[in-house]
């Protein structure tokens, strides 16, 4: 997730879990998220993950969650210096409302 601050800073953060079992469940869920049948709940789930990151960074004004595939190079490509590539699948932007206008 990309965290955007008013001063122009951008930080990168991943959701945190408290146990190995929770990490395994989250990993399994994220693996299934791109499937068509999960589209109706995809945004809600990503919003929940984004909110968990936001609580740890209260000064963030915008958060972008991008999910995709990391494609590692073959052994030959790696030996030639090629790095992994990232193929985005979907992305969501979330912004906090201006507290003064609420």
- The mean pLDDT of the chain is 84
- How far apart CA 38 and CA 42 sit, in angstroms, is 6
- How far apart CA 72 and CA 90 sit, in angstroms, is 19
pLDDT at 14 over 60: yes
Provide the pLDDT for residue 43: 82
SS3 assignment, position 11:
strand
Q: How do residues 65-77 score in pLDDT, each as one tens digit?
A: 988 888 999 999 9
Q: 10-14, 37-41, 56-60: which has the minimum mean pLDDT?
A: 37-41
Provide the pLDDT for residue 78: 94
Question: What end-to-end distance do the CA atoms of the chain give, in Å?
Answer: 26
- How far apart CA 69 and CA 97 sit, in angstroms, is 31
pTM: 0.68
The residue assigned the tokens 């951008």 is 10
Domain residues of the chain, as ranges? 2-64+90-101
**Structural tokens at position 91:** 């992305």
């Amino acid at each position: 997730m990309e965290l955007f601050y008013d001063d122009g800073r951008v930080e990168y953060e991943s959701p945190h879990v408290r146990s190995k079992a929770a990490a395994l469940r989250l990993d399994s869920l994220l693996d299934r998220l791109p499937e068509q049948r999960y589209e109706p709940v995809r945004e809600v789930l990503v919003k929940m993950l984004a909110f968990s990151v936001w609580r740890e960074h209260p000064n963030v004004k915008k958060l972008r969650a991008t999910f995709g595939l990391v494609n590692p190079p073959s052994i030959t490509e790696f030996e030639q210096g090629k790095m992994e590539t990232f193929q985005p699948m979907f992305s969501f932007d979330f912004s906090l409302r201006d507290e003064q206008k609420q």
